[in-house]
Amino acid sequence: MDSFDHHTLVDLEFPLIRQWLVDYGKGPTARKRLEELVPLTHFPTIENELKKVNELVSIRTEGNPFPALDFEELTAELKLLPIRDAVLSLEGYIRISQCSTLVNSLLHFFDKREKDFPLLWSLFNESYFTTEIIDAIDKVFDRAGNVKDDASKILSDIRQKIKVVRNQINRNFDKELRKLLKENVLGDTREAFVNDRRVLTILSTHKRKISGTVVGSSKTGSLTFIEPQVNIQLNNELEMLLDDERKEIYRILQALTREVSVFLPLIKSYQHVLTQLDFINAKSQLALELNCVLPGIQSETQIELINAFHPILWRNNKSIGKQTLPQYIRMDKTSRILVISGPNAGGKSITLKTIGLLQLMLQSGLLVPVDPNSKMCFFQQILTDIGDNQSIENELSTYSYRLKRMKHFLTVANKRTLLLLDEFGTGSDPDLGGALAEVFFEELYNRKSFGVITTHYSNIKLKADELQNAVNGCMLFDTETLEPLYKFSMGQPGSSFTFEVAQINGIPISLIEEAKTRMDERKVKLDRLLNELQKEKTYLERLNKEHIEAQKLADEARLTFVDRKERLDEKLKNQQELSERNNKYINAGKKMLAYIDRYATKSRKKDANSLLLEDLRKYLAVEKGKTEAVVNEAKRKAELNSKNPKKKKIIPPEKDPNQQHRIVIGSTVRMISTKQNGTVESIEGSNISVVFGFMRMKVEREKLCWVK
């Protein structure tokens, strides 16, 4: 397509993505389409393609028994079927039968799933379930792909005659062979096949003794191949029968072709459906390999990449067991020009290429490796100026090439253009090139284009800070170890750490200090200020991280303490109940012992124990009354509880690890998924409006944790 020029695709390494896709394609049609895949500018078409791929990825990830797309294309068959009296090859019929079986399986799969996967189902508009094609072919061919004997009555009779003649030929030959064995005129191999005829291997010295036709001899001439006289007429008859068989098979296949050609529109739909699914399947397989998803597609020009990976870098790092750090980038109408600064080899170009390559993939109908909550839009143009593009053929230097590219950008750029400019303004005198770059920057800004620019020029960083809809960003640098962190941070420019990087690479300190004395003092101060700002930001982020970790440990310790206290309180309560119960039994036992001691066993008076028994009855009545009172009280409480059920237990603050109950207006909170800190602006039920730097988002309370 015209809007996506060749340089953009090459600069962002899109051809490598296409090659990966081609490797997943099965048939030549899909593979050719994948080889020629380019970004689109018709937004409804892009969205339709993305949703098809997403539906197939959903089928794969949900574990649905989707039929394997194992088929061969019907290109040759579709050319022959419309021709009158044409005959398909045996392989052609097998391909048609396999395709019909596969499409029937796919139709069965989508039966009652049309609403779940509407776009994939729409591919089958011209297809329908039928076994007529399969039955017609199965009537002629067996499982081995051979024409059946009963494909016609004539063929059956011919093959029966062939069988009889062959049996007679073999009987005659075996009889002749036994006879000649006794005469010792046969060679070591005894027999052979010449022109599909069974012949005797005769020693050449005895060939005139044999009745038959000589059909050949060995290379040395020591052996002569003779067809027995008794079989000559039979072999001729067999040849004629085989010719009759070939003609009858041709007639059968011709009739079958006419029968199958009635279904030509359906067979065309097989080709369309299966090649389309092959094309979509290749995209889905790449998406599954790279953990790609469909982000939220915005009608407005907006990009928010959460946990975004550069797919080529991620795949290469995965192959060597190296971790790849994700990026977070946000751009909208209020921050449509992003200027990235920072040290060399710190990841500026990778961040820029990540945005560009993911945008190319999206507009080519490919899912992208980002968090599902990410947001993306479509651009009419994606234009790049990346790398050292000298042209020996046209005698262009790097700077001349870049000026020609910039001229093109200034001609075509508009509000639906995404510009990706790496090392913006370099290639000429730093002061003069920087001044010209600043003018270009303002012109592109005035055209309302979206752009990502990497630069070391201070005037570009300052200009981005001055312009309302531009924003600075930087690649972080560990000022203690003097090593790049490969992490992107929005909101402030970064130092180039020129002297620090020089120190890492072994440049003597004395030379570095001498270089500082030769610089404009304002530039030294600005670089030092950016350096100090990044140090402070890194320090604060580390403190914040340590605070969150300490708070987490404290919450865990508090929960452990509360849990242990509850268990100890429960144990103490059980022990107290057991002690009270034992004391009750002991007191009752003592009372009964007293009654036992009063019992007179030796007295002769008839009513000697009557007073004791009366006291005992009174005691038992009192104790029984106490027991009944306890039971009645328990029943009354149970009835009250059934009428007034307990309220749902509220989780106490000490059991809320994210301290969400403490979130109020003005609180500092952290997004659990992205680890971003922000300030609470307003609260509406479970939805909380949070300001993250220069952006405002509505977030559900459960997705936040309280910081302070």
- Co-location of 284 and 301 in the same domain: no
Query: Tokens 């499982």 appear where?
Result: 143
pLDDT over 90, % of the chain: 40
* Higher-confidence position of 657 and 232: 232
Alpha-carbon span 23 to 285, nearest angstrom: 10
Asked whether 200 and 180 are in contact (CB, 8 A), the reply is yes
Asked whether 204 and 217 are in contact (CB, 8 A), the reply is yes
- Co-location of 91 and 107 in the same domain: yes
Average pLDDT over residues 497-505: 65
Given 503, 532, 552, which residue is the final one in a domain?
503
Q: How many domains does the chain have?
A: 4
- Co-location of 167 and 62 in the same domain: no
Closest CA relative to residue 88, chosen from 129, 126, 133, 128: 133
Expressed as residue numbers, the domain containing 198 is 151-246
Type and span of the H or E element at 492:
none
Query: Tokens 């090392």 appear where?
Result: 423
**pLDDT of 176:** 85
- Co-location of 355 and 436 in the same domain: yes
Within a domain: 442: yes
CA distances from 317 to 309, 310, 409, 622 (A): 11, 11, 34, 85
Residue 248: other Cβ atoms inside 10 A: 19
Within a domain: 431: yes
Residue 419: other Cβ atoms inside 10 A: 23
Average per-residue pLDDT in the chain? 84
Within a domain: 636: no
Which residue type is seen at 48? N
Least confidently predicted of 67-81, 103-117, 477-491, 669-683: 477-491
- Co-location of 271 and 328 in the same domain: no
Q: What is the CATH number of the domain that holds 170?
A: 1.10.1420.10
Phi, psi of 498 (to 5 degrees): -60, -50
674 pLDDT higher than 70? no
Q: Which of 122-136, 408-422, 501-515, 680-694 has the highest mean pLDDT?
A: 122-136
Helix axes 229-261, 90-110, angle to 10 degrees: 40
Report how far Cα 632 is from the mean position of its chain's Cα atoms: 65
Given 454, 482, 503, which residue is the final one in a domain?
503
Within a domain: 56: yes
- Co-location of 393 and 317 in the same domain: yes
Token pair, residue 272, equals 């369309």
Within a domain: 639: no
Given 181, 213, 246, which residue is the final one in a domain?
246
* pTM check: above 0.75: no
Query: What three-state secondary structure class fits 417?
Result: strand
Kindly tell me the number of DSSP H helices and DSSP E strands found in the chain.
20, 19
Instruction: Tell me whether strands 695-700 and 687-692 are parallel, antiparallel or unpaired.
Output: antiparallel
User: Model confidence over 86-96: pLDDT tens digits?
Assistant: 899 889 999 99
Closest CA relative to residue 359, chosen from 304, 431, 441: 304
**pLDDT of 337:** 93
Within a domain: 601: no
Asked whether 151 and 140 are in contact (CB, 8 A), the reply is yes
Alpha-carbon span 177 to 143, nearest angstrom: 37
Helix axes 132-140, 90-110, angle to 10 degrees: 150
Token pair, residue 539, equals 């320090």
- Co-location of 170 and 192 in the same domain: yes
Within a domain: 231: yes
- Co-location of 209 and 145 in the same domain: no
Average pLDDT over residues 355-384: 95
User: Model confidence over 17-65: pLDDT tens digits?
Assistant: 999 999 999 999 999 999 999 999 999 999 999 999 999 999 999 888 8
Alpha-carbon span 418 to 355, nearest angstrom: 10
- Co-location of 361 and 453 in the same domain: yes
Q: How confident is the model at residue 158 (pLDDT cuts 50, 70, 90)?
A: very high
- Co-location of 310 and 456 in the same domain: yes
Least confidently predicted of 356-365, 502-511, 528-537, 572-581: 528-537
Instruction: Tell me whether strands 223-228 and 212-217 are parallel, antiparallel or unpaired.
Output: antiparallel
> Looking at the DSSP assignment, which residues form a beta bridge with residue 489?
474
Query: What three-state secondary structure class fits 487?
Result: strand
**pLDDT of 534:** 62
Cα Dmax for the chain: 153
> Looking at the DSSP assignment, which residues form a beta bridge with residue 682?
689
Q: What is the CATH number of the domain that holds 675?
A: 2.30.30
CA torsion sign for 537, 357, 462, 678 is negative
Within a domain: 629: no
- Co-location of 407 and 314 in the same domain: yes
- Co-location of 238 and 314 in the same domain: no
